[in-house]
Amino acid sequence: MRYAPSVESLRTHEAPAWFHDAKFGIFIHWTMASIPAFAPQAGSLIDIVGENPLDFQRLNPYAEWYWNTMKIEGSETALHHAAMYGDAPYEAFREPFEASVEAWDPAPLLDLVAASGARYVVLVTKHHDGFALWPTGVQNPKYPGWHTRRDLVGEIAQGARERGLRFGVYYSGGLDWTFEPRPTLGIADLFDTVPRSGEYRSYVDAHYRELMGRYRPDVLWNDIAYPPGPGMLELFADFYNGNPDGVVNDRWTQPGTKEFPLPLHHDFRTPEYTQYPDIVARKWEATRGIGHSYGYVANEDPANIISPGALVQSFVDAVSKNGNLLLNIGPKGDGSVDPRHEAPVRALGRWLAINGEAIYGTRPWERAALEAVDATDTIHQVRFTRGDGRVFATVFDTPAAGPLRFPGAGMPPFVRARLLGGRAVACQELGGEVVVEFPAVEESPAHCLELEL
């Protein structure tokens, strides 16, 4: 069908099957801020915002916000910048970044993405600093030539597709510090710094259309907001008409419009560093970094890095509730990845190699969760998915060998059970419970039981 630039027409578009099936994507935040690679280590952004909603930016743990945070007098980032770089402007990081980019080999990064088990990749093409990672033909009227000489977007798009991955583009439509250099301090003034001029709106529209025409993305992942005025619905319609299987996220709010803060249209929601407590009918995608930042942080507290076990369990929880996971990798300035960040990514890939049947191509079951009790009376969280006449019960952590008891009322009627990566397991109904004879197995963050209906 052809989509018209109207809310009624666009809302007939839904997240396509591939996006439901994929479950897992890799986000890549690689900006000039990876050269200073610094951020305060005061906790997670959610906690910091909760404690300091009006001036949380001075403690912002997101390294990619360096240019904003360094402008806040007395902030840790401002003090760090003065000590390390004196009065050098943020723009001074451009040439070191460009020099690193010239020598970069994309294969190791893309091989890591493929090894993770991800089915799609979303690349930051322009973050809030306005620096484009492709040699755009759209001139920045405030900072002429504000883009990489090398086509990082094109090379990553090509490499991703060569590895069988879908490709998407992140673009900061809501903030661009080359158009609006005032620093934002907190929640109250965040949307006040969204550029609202017709010049900026035309610039953003031209960038998006260039990205769509040149790189054919499957995902348009906008951030913060979209400049107010006409043209957004036309952009969506043209995107869908060129790629009916494309998807757009939910961060397209237009400040100053009567719909604000809700977007006029989206295919999926994007909770950040949090997840929904139960099944959500509309598709969603949890997004988070491996630590407390998306951009690379050289001074990162190791305690902030998610463990392989916590990553697997968080991912399974999202999938059971109709969500995907978009997990961020933040390369260093030279494009390499911190080994501490590689470890959980590769661990998730190894887990998926065994248990992918319970993830890829599945849909939520009637309920997302319940608890099971093992032979030592230890309680284990369980998450459910379904597909192809089967229900998968993914048991968190490693139960003790012996009877694993599920509440009978919460289980599907099944005829046999099998442990993915293992063998069939005996099961019976006993005293209102379903009892599975769980075998002795190696330790794992989660074990998947296939229940044949």
User: In this predicted structure, what is the pLDDT of residue 261?
Assistant: 62
Q: Is the pLDDT of residue 426 over 90?
A: yes
User: In this predicted structure, what is the pLDDT of residue 415?
Assistant: 84
Q: Is the pLDDT of residue 410 over 90?
A: no
User: In this predicted structure, what is the pLDDT of residue 423?
Assistant: 87
- In the structure, what pLDDT confidence band is assigned to residue 409 with cuts at 50, 70 and 90? confident
- What is the rounded distance in angstroms from the CA atom of residue 358 to the CA atom of residue 395? 11
User: In this predicted structure, what is the pLDDT of residue 188?
Assistant: 87
Q: What percent of the chain has pLDDT over 70?
A: 99
User: In this predicted structure, what is the pLDDT of residue 71?
Assistant: 98
What is the residue extent of each domain of the chain?
7-358, 369-452
List the CATH code of the domain at 7-358: 3.20.20.80
Q: What is the pLDDT of residues 9-58, one digit of tens each?
A: 999 999 999 999 999 999 999 999 999 999 999 999 999 999 999 999 99
Q: Which two tokens stand for residue 187?
A: 């929640």
Fold of 369-452: Immunoglobulin-like (2.60.40)
Residue 200 near residue 156 (C-beta atoms within 8 A): no
Residue 405 near residue 395 (C-beta atoms within 8 A): no
Q: What is the pTM of this model?
A: 0.97
User: In this predicted structure, what is the pLDDT of residue 258?
Assistant: 55
Q: Is the pLDDT of residue 266 over 80?
A: yes
> How large is the average pLDDT for residues 129-152?
98
Q: Is the pLDDT of residue 388 over 80?
A: yes
Q: Is the pLDDT of residue 194 over 90?
A: yes
Buried b (16+ CB within 10 A) or exposed e, 279-310: bbeebbbbbbbbbbbbbbbeebeeebbbebbe
User: In this predicted structure, what is the pLDDT of residue 64?
Assistant: 99
Is residue 333 classed as helix, strand or coil in its secondary structure?
coil
**375 vs 1, which has greater pLDDT?**
375
Pairs from 349-352 (Cβ < 8 Å, separation ≥ 24): 349/115, 349/116, 349/117, 351/117, 351/308, 351/312, 351/444, 351/445, 351/446, 352/24, 352/117
Provide the angle, in degrees to the nearest 10, between the axes of the packed helices 152-162 and 107-115: 40
Instruction: Give, in degrees to the nearest 5, the angle at Cα 60 between 58 and 64.
Output: 120
User: In this predicted structure, what is the pLDDT of residue 431?
Assistant: 87
Q: Answer whether 7-358 and 369-452 agree in fold.
A: no
Beta-carbon contacts of residue 123 (< 8 Å; ≥ 6 apart): 28, 30, 133, 152, 153, 156, 157, 167, 168, 169, 170
Q: What is the pLDDT of residues 163-189, one digit of tens each?
A: 999 999 999 999 999 999 999 999 889
Q: What is the pLDDT of residues 296-343, one digit of tens each?
A: 999 999 999 999 999 999 999 999 999 999 999 999 999 999 999 999
Residue 375 near residue 401 (C-beta atoms within 8 A): yes
The DSSP 8-state label assigned to residue 168 in this structure reads E
Q: What is the pLDDT of residues 223-237, one digit of tens each?
A: 999 999 999 999 999
- In the structure, what pLDDT confidence band is assigned to residue 259 with cuts at 50, 70 and 90? low
User: In this predicted structure, what is the pLDDT of residue 158?
Assistant: 99
Cα end-to-end distance, the chain, whole Å: 37
